[in-house]
A and B are shown apart, each in its own frame.
Chain A
Amino acid sequence: MSADKPLLAIDRVAIVMNLVPYLVERGPVSVAEAARELDVAPDVLRRLAEGLVVIGLPDGMHNDLFDIDWDLLDERDELQLLNTVAFERAPRLTAREAAALLAGLQLAGSAPGVAAKGVVPGLIAKLSRGASAPPAELTVTANPGDEVRSAVMDALDRGLAVSFTHQKPDASPTTRTVDPVKILVKDDQWYLRGWCHLRRDMRTFHLDRISDVVVTDVAAGVHDDPEASVFGAADGPLEATIRFTPHVAPLLGQFLDHAVVTTEGTRSTAVLRVADPTQLKRLAARRGGEVEILAPDEARIAAVEWARAGLAQYG
């Protein structure tokens, strides 16, 4: 739970329902550690633990209330329950919560090493059984792997550099050697993030653009990857302006992530930052008239020539 969002009463209820079973299992434990594990700010957790001692059965006797070890809390900032009246085990997952994890698992299951551990089928059964109602129908299909993907995963798993041919649109292929750092999957598109020996920097490669992969026998170096957004590579130094009907906005995806968009009536205008504005010809043709390139001129001309050359094939 992010610290900046104000907590509602029901959020605090949820925290207590997690705190009690956690302490039953783990107590005594420091406020700091419990806060970290339960994803709550320490002072919020401390106040909720203190508040527990008034919770109990209606018209309850003393031993029908929760009780905590006050000395331990005051002297060592540690939490220990002395009496519980409910919540001894974690609550079941809601149908939505179970569905969120199950769908995530359908992708996470393709992680290097995860499939090999064989834990996924067991987890699916446990999550389904641990839900208060049948999990919602939320399905994520991972596309089947190919030799490029397995080679890259193998290299990452064994800490070895990989070399491959990389083909960018409208550019000559290059041969790269890369120390793999991470495999990223977004919207069913697979990417390799790693330190490129040729560019002497971190780069992100779309696996579709990679061929002739060889797992080398050279140990990969260890590299920090400070960049917050690894897909920031899509942004570039040049400005371009496009106009579109607002309902295609969801179809423009990443193009609009860092764009300035203004909408007037039935038309929106976006100022994008791209590496090569003439490549917007591909976006314009893909959206078949719903996207118009306004600037720069060379990008507008490139789009017209692109569509014309495409049409010329059909006579």
Chain B
Amino acid sequence: MPEKIAPEERLLSLTVALMAHRYGLTKEQILSSVSGYREARAEGRSSDALEKMFERDKDALRDLGVPIHTVGDHADPDDLREARYLIPKAEYLLPEDIAFTPAEVAVLNLAAAVWGESSMSADAAAALRKIRALGIDVDEPIIGFAPRISAREPAFAPLRQANDQARVVRFTYVKPGDDVLRARTLEPHALIEFEGRWHVHGLDRDLGETRTFLLSRIVGDVQVTREGFDPASRVGAGERARLGLESVSAQNIAELRVQDATEAAVRLRRRGTRDGDILRVRYVDVHVLADELASYGPEVRVEGPDELREQVVSRLRRTLAAHGVSA
């Protein structure tokens, strides 16, 4: 009876084989000689099953960051029978000239800890393990500073996956006070946390224009479609989104009257500029600021702009209505 080969032995042997051969190996060479495949074939496994196993293994290794290239026939690139598979060592290995100092590793440990328990922490931890595999000493951990980013919105994980794989997404978006749910089709070019809130920035396929959406207003599941978009459109998108949000916030200025010694005074004066009795506060999104101002109840009165005042008034009215009182 042929011996059973553990799947990790097969995956590692495949990686070693594809790295060792400068011109790569054909699928036939792999299936007949690489440990794991060879034994499975000897056991009488069908070639269909073996080919599927090879496809799955390639996907799993690529997901880990192993660059597996397929070099096809020049005359007919779609004909993979004679294609050769190889892993260029230089693309697999961390470049020799990248080294980290003990102080840098300590900072990276702190950077990875930022993700806490969120879905990003697995990626951050995997990255740190690779860096620690370089065998570098680490400075004393940085204590006394614990920054955390929470990514609690359910939309975060699928949007990040779609951004990573450059695929179009569909989701339902709701604006507060506007009960109409709208279906959106978006190329997610970047995810950006701005003022403590996650946004997705990208090309709205229906409008044909770039738009920025708040993740917390996405209702229900984000559907990652099979349709791709040009990965190059992601380059620099995070910075463009940030500049966009900042320029919006420079144009939108709320004029407020704030009662002294209140929660509103404590929270708003810090980020506003005073002009006599009026406090001017910049904002990105009228709904987000209206949410906050409504929470202060009588502690703040909105002098302008009109749209902001109306949004605050309607929140207060709806709060009364929800508690069975008419305004």
List the interface of chain A (C-beta within 8 A of B): 1, 9-10, 12-14, 16-19, 21-22, 24-26, 37-39, 48, 51, 54-59, 85-86, 88-105, 107-114, 117, 119-120, 122-123, 126, 129-130, 132, 134, 136-141, 143, 146, 156-157, 167, 169-170, 173, 180-189, 208-209, 211, 230, 247, 250-251, 253, 281-293, 300, 303-304, 306-314
Contact = CB atoms under 8 A, between A and B. Distances in A.
Nearest to A253: B152
B195 interface: yes
A114 B134 CA distance: 22
A188 B94 contact: no
Given A101-B127, A132-B65, A286-B292, A139 B35 contact: no
Contacts of B321: 289
A19 B134 CA distance: 9
B142 interface: yes
Contact of A56 (B16, B113, B164, B317): B16
Interface in B85-137: 91-96, 98, 100-101, 103-104, 107-108, 110-115, 120-121, 123-135
9 contacts: A51-B9, A89-B94, A97-B126, A103-B149, A108-B142, A111-B142, A208-B267, A285-B297, A307-B317
B208 to A, nearest CB: 21
Q: Which 4 A-B pairs have the closest CB atoms?
A: A289-B318, A288-B315, A25-B135, A188-B196
A138 B216 contact: no
B177 A288 contact: yes
A285 B270 contact: no
A289 B322 contact: yes
Nearest to A112: B145
Contact of A303 (B16, B20, B215, B319): B319
Interface residues of B, number: 127
A92 B147 contact: no
Contacts of A113: 142
Contacts of B220: 247
Contacts of B103: 117, 119
B33 interface: yes
A136 B193 contact: no
A313 B298 contact: yes
A100 B238 contact: no
Contacts of B91: 92, 132
B132 A22 contact: yes
A141 B239 CA distance: 10
Nearest to B219: A247
A114 B6 CA distance: 45
Indicate the member of A97, A129, A181 with the most B CB atoms within 10 Å.
A97
Interface stretch (B40-48, B76-84, B184-192, B274-282): B184-192
A94 B161 CA distance: 13
Given A55-B16, A129-B98, A108 B110 contact: yes
Contact of A186 (B111, B148, B164, B297): B148
Given A282-B297, A286-B291, 6 more contacts: A13-B64, A90-B93, A103-B149, A105-B111, A137-B234, A187-B196
B66 interface: yes
Nearest to A138: B191
Contacts of B15: 13, 86
A71 B322 CA distance: 75
B69 interface: no
Nearest to A153: B145
B188 to A, nearest CB: 9
Interface string B46-61: 0000000000000011
A9 B127 contact: no
Nearest to B119: A100
Contacts of A157: 144
